[in-house]
Amino acid sequence: MHGTIFLVTQKFVESNYGNQTWLDLLEQAGCPVTHFSPVQIYPDEYIGAIVGVACKALSVEPTFLLRELGKFAAGELIGFSQSLLHPSWKTFEVIMNVETLIHTTIKHQNSKAQPANIQSFRVGENEIQVIYTSRRGLCSLAHGILEGMAEYYDEDISVEQVTCTKESNAFCTFSVKRNSSVESNADFFLSQLPESPSSDSPSRNFEDHLNSETVVADLDAIKSATVIDNENRSDLDFEVSDSIHETNLPKKFGRYQILSLLGTGGMGSVLKAQDIYLRRTVALKTLKSEILEENQVQHFLEEARAMARISSPYVVQIFDVGKTDGRPFIVMEYLTGRTLRKKIQEGPIDVSTTIRLLSQITKGLDAVHLGGLVHRDIKPDNIMLFQDEQNCRILDFGLSHEKYKNKEKANSISGTLEYMSPECLSGLPADYRSDIFSVGTVGYEMLFGSQVFRRFSHIDTIEAVKKFEPEFASVDKYIPADLLQLLESMMQKDRDKRMSNCREILERLKAIKIES
């Protein structure tokens, strides 16, 4: 049992009954440890004995005490994870991310810890199904944690246990329901639309996007890596094949007939396909076969379903998710035309267009974050421009997640080095503030026409991201000081000091005055 559980239990007892009661419990339970460490693991028998003695003293059942402990632990968990929580999240958003929060906070302290598995699935606008599995069978504790989260956010939410392993079920499940329905905010969605809608439809092609440079880089190997041809380099384990027959990929995924292989990256492949029912061309993304462990398949599908619920004109639309012969896939819009990368290659972008595109990227990212997701790979290659090049859409999130790494990639980082945040390059998990850093680097590149942190080698690029302080000034053209100050605040090395509220960023972008 992880030391954090003992510390939370100690705080629970002391806050309700005093320090002496805690010491008495330890003595009566025969626990040889009196000071617990959050980075240590202790025998499960210790917590079992402590709970047993406490139940006897209070004349209550273990299920009741564990549930009350869980309610208390919920607030502690939220406190531990505060830096990982989006400011707008409440109960449902936290529950949808609770396993990541638990594993991040506990495993970051001790990589050998084995916390419970808690998977959450949105089954409706106002209902979540939670599946809990643990060899310790502490479902009452999990029940209390779910209730405690609702109490923390002061929301009218009920938690009902539907199945339990103690009743010969395969796992424990909970139904979490809002007792008062939350309706979607139509006004907010309308505010997301372009200020000057173009009659042009979005450009429709993925080929340009496949020049991206997503890295799945071994942290030890990149220390000696250099790039011989810096101008034409590719940092990605990336291939583009003219024929699907050159791969071992299925020729059909459900109702989707594969037409061609668009490209493969570190985590999966992107395919051009035809929906044989609706007779439309789509893009289909699937994981690589060598990382198809069951838990990774489930994480992939869960995140895909979350992506499909995102409603924003600035985020690529997800049409479908599914599995073929155990291989998961996501079906999305087939977008063509050129990426923001292609436009930047022609030179710096004017201030007015930069502000407009930055606003749209931020709006799209806000929708992603509100959906409980982190993009993790914002860069010009993942921004597709409309034909008028005044509007854009965010592409390609979900495949660069730490959850999809295989065992051989355990000591690796996922993303594109020159756009990754300092904390991610230091091995810390990405959160919504990491995305904001990446948006800042994209904004800088639009204005100045160059990648501010890119260097000759991987290790030099990493050092630049962590230590190099860019010049936020221009001698070649006029750039409003307010815009430069905003980018500087978005690119702060310390994420606790970084501007990270998308709504606030949008207000500041809107307030920038451009000299004629």
Per-residue pLDDT, 397:
60
Task: Give bridge partners of residue 385 from the DSSP assignment.
Answer: 392
Grade residue 273 by pLDDT with cuts at 50, 70 and 90: very high
In a domain, 191, yes or no: no
In a domain, 225, yes or no: no
**Residues 348 and 467 reside in one and the same domain:** yes
Per-residue pLDDT, 281:
92
**Residues 293 and 319 reside in one and the same domain:** yes
Task: Say what the pTM is.
Answer: 0.65
237 is catalytic: no
Task: Mark which of 283, 317, 333 sits at the end of a domain.
Answer: 333
Checking if the pLDDT of 380 tops 50, the result is yes
What is residue 286's three-state secondary structure?
Answer: strand
Which helix (H) or strand (E) segment holds residue 187: the answer is helix 186-191
**Residues 33 and 156 reside in one and the same domain:** no
**DSSP symbol at 55:** H
**Residues 391 and 494 reside in one and the same domain:** yes
Give the total number of structural domains in the chain. 4
Angle at 273 between CA 268 and CA 278, to 5 degrees: 135
**Residues 469 and 490 reside in one and the same domain:** yes
Kindly list the distances between the CA atom of residue 440 and the CA atoms of 255, 389, 399, 481, in Å, as whole numbers in the listed order.
Answer: 40, 20, 22, 15
**Residues 405 and 301 reside in one and the same domain:** no
Instruction: Give me 173's structure tokens.
Output: 């499940």
Task: Mark which of 20, 42, 60 sits at the end of a domain.
Answer: 60
Q: Of 154-163, 252-261, 323-332, where does mean pLDDT reach its minimum?
A: 323-332
Kindly report the average pLDDT of the chain as a whole number.
Answer: 78
In a domain, 516, yes or no: no
In a domain, 198, yes or no: no
Q: Which one of 320, 388, 460, 482 is the catalytic residue?
A: 388
Q: CATH number of the domain that 496 lies in?
A: 1.10.510.10
In a domain, 29, yes or no: yes
pLDDT over 90 for what percent of the chain?
31
Checking if the pLDDT of 400 tops 60, the result is no
Q: What distance in Å separates the CA atoms of residue 1 and residue 47, rounded to the nearest whole number?
A: 8
E strand intervals along 76-171 = 117-124, 127-133, 157-163
**Residues 273 and 145 reside in one and the same domain:** no
- Domain hosting residue 130, numbered range: 66-184
**Residues 263 and 173 reside in one and the same domain:** no
**Residues 318 and 368 reside in one and the same domain:** no
Q: CATH number of the domain that 312 lies in?
A: 3.30.200.20
Grade residue 114 by pLDDT with cuts at 50, 70 and 90: low
Question: In this predicted model, what pLDDT tens digit does every residue of 222-261 receive, in sequence order?
Answer: 333 333 333 332 333 333 344 555 567 788 899 999 998 8
**Residues 321 and 342 reside in one and the same domain:** no
Looking only at the bridges linking them, the beta strands covering 318-324 and 327-333 are antiparallel
Collect all residues with Cβ–Cβ distance below 8 Å to 260 and sequence separation of at least 6: 241, 242, 243, 244, 271, 272
Q: CATH number of the domain that 82 lies in?
A: 3.90.1520.10
Mean pLDDT of the region 329-357: 91
In a domain, 192, yes or no: no
Task: Mark which of 295, 310, 333 sits at the end of a domain.
Answer: 333
Grade residue 121 by pLDDT with cuts at 50, 70 and 90: confident
Handedness of CA 357, 361, 366, 371 (dihedral sign): positive
Per-residue pLDDT, 290:
62
* CB burial string 125-142: b at 16+ within 10 A, e below: ebebebbbbbeeebbbbb
**Residues 138 and 8 reside in one and the same domain:** no
Q: What distance in Å separates the CA atoms of residue 201 and residue 16, rounded to the nearest whole number?
A: 62
In a domain, 91, yes or no: yes
**Residues 406 and 422 reside in one and the same domain:** yes
In a domain, 5, yes or no: yes
